[in-house]
Amino acid sequence: MWLRNKIVSIVLLSIVLLFMGCSINTPNMNSFLSERFETIENPEDVLIVEGYNALDNQDLKEARESFLEAYYLSGNRSYLKEIIGVLLLEQEYILAKEKTLQYLEKYPKDEDMRQTLIGILSKEGDLKNALKEAMILLKNHRNVQNLEIISSVYLLQKKYQKSIEYLQQAYALEKNDLILDKLASTYFVFLNNKQKAIELYERHIQKYGVSPMIGEKLAMIYLQDKAYKKAARVYEKLFKATGEQNYAKNVLEIYFQFNNLTQAQSFLEKNSSIHLADEILLEIYRHKKDYQKSIEVLDRIYKQTHNVDFLALKAMMIYESAKNRNDKKMLESVVEDLKIVSNKLDDALYWNYLGYLMIDHNLDIKEGMQYVTKALQKEPQNVYYLDSLAWGYYQLKDCINARLTMEKIPLEEIQKEKEIKDHFEVIRQCKF
């Protein structure tokens, strides 16, 4: 037999499980028809091909007639199910109910068709008879799906405690996320018992782990309650379980919004797979003035990316954080790194920094002044670069050029910066 899909099951749950938000997709007839047969000699098979082809072309009447002929030809009751399914697709609910009742008179224990009848009765608003049929269904076939169906009927009747009772039975049989979510949602939405919903979500996560469905619902409740740390904790679990970057982003947004840098740092240090984890950690370390960790991260980023900006930042941070800035070995290392940067980047900031370092520590004053001059060619009015050049002349005992260069800096700018002001006073009194 070529019956691949039960049309009845397509329509059923979309009618019954209104609250549950289930969506059932129409079967893809192309996949059925894509099977190739060189010859079709069985008349029954021909009719079934015609029926599914008609369905694929939305010719529901033709499909129904083909299935009916197939039933007359073979007596196979599966075709009656297909006919009822087509009637539901045509929204012929009264006729579909009539045919379903007739079918169940002959085959009272057919699970699919009893489910279909419950769906039709629920659609019509005949919840009393829908419940009656659901009880019969459950008596004949006690399983998770049918427990959910009877729970849905009670929900439509607004008998929320009874609905919960059957969901609990379903959950006892199968600890899946969907049932738990329905159970928690019933407490939260219909009984206004948010705390119970939270308890259910938390207990399920603790026992069976977190999933996007459960975790996102719980995190949303915590966010609505402004329980941001708890929401962040749930998002952390979701990231650990799925590796999805958006969960890590949610965690960090919460921590940064409330300036919880320590928690953000801990999360990033434990999860190196987070996008731009090192770059974010760098900003946290710099903000906290943790120079050693900043240097370690900068070194790691440079080795990974070969971006010399990070080498420059590393060199400057090593110098700025040094307990002894006159340490010869440290200075040689910093200058070596900055020369690599200066040869690769057209950046006045780095040229000036390197040049001033060489001037101030008397490493090679003339070479240092060459770097500063290069920076001034790009930014001739930059007060910091002018100060560096003036200081170079002073170190060379060239008081005249030192004063002339310093005079290019406006007095108000000199007063703003202590180091420039100190240089100005020393150069003003220069008498070499």
Given pLDDT bands bounded at 50, 70 and 90, which one contains residue 23?
very low
Reply yes or no on whether the pLDDT at 35 is more than 60: no
Residue 393 scores a pLDDT above 80: yes
Q: What is the pLDDT of residues 137-195, one digit of tens each?
A: 999 999 999 999 999 999 999 999 999 999 999 999 999 999 999 999 999 999 999 99
Q: Would you state the pLDDT for residue 54?
A: 66
With a cut of 70, say whether residue 9 has pLDDT above it: no
- 364-391 exposure pattern, b = at least 16 Cβ within 10 A, e = fewer: ebeebbebbbbbbeeeeebbbbbbbbbb
Distance CA(246)–CA(168), nearest Å, equals 32
Question: What pLDDT sits at residue 273?
Answer: 96
Q: Where are the alpha helices (DSSP H) in 188-323?
A: 194-208, 212-224, 228-242, 245-257, 261-270, 277-287, 291-305, 308-321
User: What is the structure's pLDDT at 51?
Assistant: 65
Average pLDDT of every residue of the chain: 89
**pLDDT higher than 50, residue 92:** yes
User: Which tokens belong to 317?
Assistant: 């941070």
pTM, rounded to two decimals: 0.79
Amino acid at 141: H
Q: Per-residue confidence at 53, pLDDT binned at 50, 70, 90?
A: confident
Distance in angstroms (rounded) separating the CA atoms of residues 35 and 15:
31
Q: Give the pLDDT score at 223.
A: 98
Pair of tokens at residue 7: 């049309």
Q: Do 54 and 62 contact (CB within 8 A), yes or no? A: yes
- Cβ atoms within 10 Å of 270's Cβ, excluding its own: 11
> Does the pLDDT at position 40 exceed 80?
no
pLDDT recorded at residue 41: 60
The answer for 73, left when phi > 0, alpha when psi is -120 to 50, beta otherwise, is: alpha
pLDDT at 239 over 90: yes
Which structural domains are found in the chain, ordered by start? Answer: 1-141 (1.25.40.10), 349-432 (1.25.40.10)
Query: Which pLDDT band holds residue 50 (cuts at 50, 70, 90)?
Result: confident
Mean pLDDT score, 249-255: 98
Binning the chain into helix, strand and coil, the percentages to the nearest 5 are 75, 0, 25
Task: Name the token pair of 376.
Answer: 């001034």
Which of 9-18, 97-106, 115-124, 222-231 comes out lowest in average pLDDT? 9-18
396 token code pair:
């060379």
pLDDT at residue 212 above 50? yes
Q: How many CB atoms lie within 10 A of CB 305?
A: 13
Reported as a single tens digit per residue, the pLDDT across 320-357 is: 999 999 999 999 999 999 999 999 999 999 999 999 99
pLDDT digits (tens, 9 = 90+) for 262-277: 999 999 999 999 999 9
Least confident of 57-61, 170-174, 361-365: 57-61
Percent of the chain beyond pLDDT 70? 89
How far is it, in rounded angstroms, from Cα 207 to Cα 37? 51
- Identify the pLDDT of residue 21: 40
Average pLDDT over residues 381-394: 98
Q: How many CB atoms lie within 10 A of CB 262?
A: 11
Rounded to whole angstroms, how far apart are CA atoms 42 and 29?
A: 20
Q: Does the pLDDT value for residue 8 go beyond 60?
A: no
- Give the model's pLDDT for residue 344: 96
Instruction: Say whether pLDDT at 72 is over 90.
Output: no
Q: What is the mean pLDDT of residues 7-36?
A: 39
Cα dihedral 317, 319, 322, 324 in deg (nearest 10): -170
Residues 334/372, Cβ–Cβ less than 8 Å: no
Measured CA to CA, the distance from residue 133 to residue 115 in angstroms comes to 8
30-34, 101-105, 123-127, 212-216: least confident range: 30-34
Which residue in this structure is represented by tokens 């991260």?
297
Q: Would the pLDDT of 125 be above 60?
A: yes
Q: How many residues appear in the chain?
A: 432
Give the pLDDT band (50/70/90) at residue 7: very low
What is the pLDDT averaged over residues 112-138?
97
| Amino acid 104: pLDDT | 97
Average of per-residue pLDDT across 5-33: 39
On the question of pLDDT at 206 being above 60, the answer is yes
Which pLDDT value is given to residue 71? 67
